[in-house]
Amino acid sequence: MRTIIITIEPVSGEKPNRPCTEPSARVARIRGNVISSDELLGCDGRLMIRHASATYELRITRQGKLLLTKSY
């Protein structure tokens, strides 16, 4: 089992969809290669990812789907 420490920073001034009681840093436990999207994305349903000098936003859409977009 791997442990990944994730630091969450707000990506906008929007209010979260659900109550946010999580700390700004949290530990996510991964079994094999599987992690819950709720655990990964946190209370506001968003996560910023840095990859090869670019930044991407992973978020949950209103339809409950995952969307990965490149931030500029």
For residue 38, the model assigns a pLDDT of: 83
Any idea what the CATH number is for the domain that residue 49 is in? 2.10.70.10
Question: Does residue 57 contact residue 23 with C-beta atoms inside 8 Å?
Answer: no
List beta partners, residue 72. Answer: none
7-17 mean pLDDT: 51
What sign does the CA torsion over 50, 51, 57, 61 have?
negative
pLDDT band of 59, cuts 50, 70, 90: very high
- Indicate the number of domains in the chain: 1
Measure the CA–CA gap between 64 and 33, rounded to whole angstroms: 21
7-24 mean pLDDT: 52
pLDDT digits (tens, 9 = 90+) for 61-70: 988 899 999 9
For residue 69, the model assigns a pLDDT of: 95
Measure the CA–CA gap between 35 and 6, rounded to whole angstroms: 13
The mean pLDDT value of the chain amounts to 75
Find where tokens 């859409």 sit: 61
The 3-state DSSP class for residue 71 equals strand
Range of the domain at 37: 2-71
